Amino acid sequence: MSKYLFPIYKQVNIEFKKGKGSKLYDKYKNEYIDFTSGIGVNSLGHGNKSLIKAINKQANKLIHISNIYPVEAQKKCAKKLVQLSTYKNMNCFFCNSGAEANEAAIKFVRKYAYLKKIKNHKIITINNSFHGRTLTTLKATAQEDKQKGFGPFTDEFIYAKDIEDIKNKIDKSTVAVMLELIQGEGGINAFDKKKIQILAKELKKKKILLVIDEVQSGVYRTGKFLASNYYEIKPDVITLAKGLAGGLPIGVMMSDVKDIFILGNHGTTFGGNPLCTSVALEVLNILQEQEKSKKLENRILYFQKNLDKCLKENKEFFVSKVGIGLMLGLKLKNEEDLGILIEKCLDEKLLVLRSGKDIVRFLPSLNISKKEIKEGFSKLQKAINKIKG
């Protein structure tokens, strides 16, 4: 860690110099298989030629001008997002990250409560959720260990234990329910589809907004454009970020609820700049084609087939498979083995992640090759064998 940086990250002492596809190379030219894609950001892997071409093309014309002026790429990207979402009429606000997108969503909900004259409004979130590290999104994140030392917070958030408990928490002051359909940091916990659909219908009847945080689960991570599409629901507000621009910083808050945000209600300096939105449009076009051609579906099936095989061959080590699409994990029998497994994977030149206390998490690029998948699982098995002794 550099003495010029705050010591806020627990970093692995590996310095990567370049990447190609789902492979990374350190300064000693060692080759690693990447099952993390920068925590779900590098949706098209490393060094993607189409992305590099799109970046260079736009950078040679215009990188930033601010939202004082119309941005053509921003308008095209917003149109594409709305079309892919399957909503007929939706508006987008572009920003720079998932936390910013969630901040915008919460601000949007507050304005909705103000206009509806809902006093002392409350937003319900779920235990083990993760919505960001700004002060408001940190309070929305129902994890006390992450909040310690950063109060006082706003008091508008109420925490539910699970989907069923949300119903118990609803009262006349409830303005919104905010949740991840698959909890990224909370154990790759994919909520039951039927329960989510029932909840969505009940909230619609009660005119309570449903805000879905798709920062990690969105942009084809589940095989569908949105996890909401996979769950067959239509939330009032959706947030996206991570994989949307293939590695460039971007976030977006989308809603079909009209007449809430008006002129001057919100803004950003960098959000929706020509570079990031033009590259995001390229990412969306590529991934849409991958879905239509069934390449993405076949890739997901192949990755999950290898994951199932790993689980079957290591029943004394893993309890179950969790997740959807290419947002996956294996639950360990002994949580103390998680750190050891990640370390042994590094020794085998394989990058994996943790989620919660006992889940090894896999977030590969959405265009990872079968060869890279096979090689990665071979390395994973070697790492497991080392622990078994």
Gyration radius of the chain's alpha carbons: 21
pLDDT single digits (tens) 62-112: 999 999 999 999 999 999 999 999 998 999 999 999 999 999 999 999 999
The structure tokens 């950063």 sit at 150
Cα-Cα end-to-end distance for the chain: 33
Domain that residue 303 falls in: 16-34+294-388
In whole angstroms, give the CA distance from residue 10 to residue 7.
8
Query: CATH number of the domain that 324 lies in?
Result: 3.90.1150.10
39 within a domain of the structure (yes/no): no
Mean pLDDT throughout 329-354?
97
Percent of the chain with pLDDT over 90: 93
Q: Are residues 257 and 120 located together in one domain of the fold? A: yes
Residue 142: predicted pLDDT: 84
The residue among 275, 292, 309 that closes a domain is: 292
Q: Is the pLDDT of residue 389 over 80?
A: no
DSSP code of residue 341: H
3-state secondary structure of 79: helix
Q: Identify any residues that bridge with 157 across adjacent strands, giving them in sequence order.
A: 123
**Euclidean distance between CA atoms 215 and 230, whole angstroms:** 15
Q: Are 273 and 64 in contact (CB under 8 A)?
A: yes
Interatomic CA distance for residues 67 and 255, integer angstroms: 19
Collapsed DSSP state (helix, strand, coil) of residue 344: helix
Q: Are strands 122-126 and 23-26 parallel, antiparallel or unpaired?
A: unpaired
**Assigned domain for 44 exists:** no
Confidence of residue 166 (pLDDT cuts 50, 70, 90): very high
Sign of the Cα torsion 322, 327, 330, 334 reads negative
What CATH number is given to the structural domain containing 192? 3.40.640.10
Q: Are residues 227 and 263 in the same domain?
A: yes
Going by C-alpha positions, the residue among 199, 217, 263, 2 that lies closest to residue 98 is 217
Token pair, residue 186, equals 């909370």
Residue 2 has pLDDT above 90, yes or no: no
In this structure, what are the phi and psi dihedrals at residue 355, rounded to the nearest 5 degrees? -145, 125
Is residue 8 a part of any domain in this protein? no
Q: What is the pLDDT of residue 380?
A: 99
In angstroms, the CA 2 to CA 87 distance is 46
Q: Look at residue 43 and tell me if it is in a domain.
A: no
